[in-house]
C-alpha cells in the first residue's frame, strides 16, 4: 500500500496502469483506523489486480477539495485516470470485497 500526496497523486493514481482504490482518511478518524487493517490485507490479496493508495486529507487538503471529500473514510475507485465508483464510511470486509469486485472486475 502506498501513500499519495498533492505532489504525486496524479502520477501514482491517475496515471497508474492498474485500477486504484484510494482511501481518503485522517489520523484522528477512528473509523479510518478501524478500516486500515482490512485495507492492508486487501493490498496484498489484490496486488495483481489493483493498487491501494492512502491519502491523508489533513496533510493534503487540496486533494480532499478536488475530489469533493465531505466525510471519511471515503473509498474511491479510479480506472484509466477517472473515478468510477465511491463508497463512504466503515464497510465490512465482505461489502468491501463486493465493491471492489463490482468496480474493478477482480472476481
DSSP-assigned letters across all residues of 24-84: EE-TT-HHHHHHHHHHHHHHHHTTTT-EEEEEETTT-HHHHHHTT--SSSEEEEEETTEEE
Residue of 29, 52, 69, 104 marked catalytic: 29
Whether 90 sits among the annotated catalytic residues: the reply is no
Q: pLDDT tens-digit profile of 2-35?
A: 999 999 999 999 999 999 999 999 999 999 999 9
Beta strands at 51-56 and 20-25: parallel, antiparallel or unpaired: parallel
Do the beta carbons of residue 53 and residue 23 sit within 8 Å? yes
Residue of 21, 32, 39, 57 marked catalytic: 32
Average pLDDT of the residues in 61-78: 96
Average pLDDT of the residues in 49-65: 96
Whether 107 sits among the annotated catalytic residues: the reply is no
Amino acid at each position: 500500500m502506498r501513500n499519495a500526496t498533492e505532489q504525486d497523486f496524479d502520477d501514482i493514481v491517475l496515471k497508474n496502469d492498474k485500477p486504484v482504490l484510494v482511501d481518503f482518511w485522517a489520523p484522528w478518524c477512528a473509523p479510518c483506523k478501524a478500516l486500515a487493517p482490512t485495507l492492508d490485507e486487501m493490498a496484498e490479496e489484490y496486488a495483481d489486480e489493483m493498487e491501494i493508495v492512502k491519502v491523508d486529507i489533513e496533510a493534503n487538503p487540496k486533494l480532499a477539495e478536488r475530489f469533493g471529500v465531505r466525510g471519511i473514510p471515503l473509498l474511491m475507485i479510479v480506472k484509466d485516470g477517472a473515478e468510477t465508483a465511491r463508497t463512504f464510511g466503515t464497510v465490512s470486509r465482505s461489502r468491501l470485497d463486493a465493491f471492489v469486485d463490482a468496480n474493478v472486475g477482480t472476481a
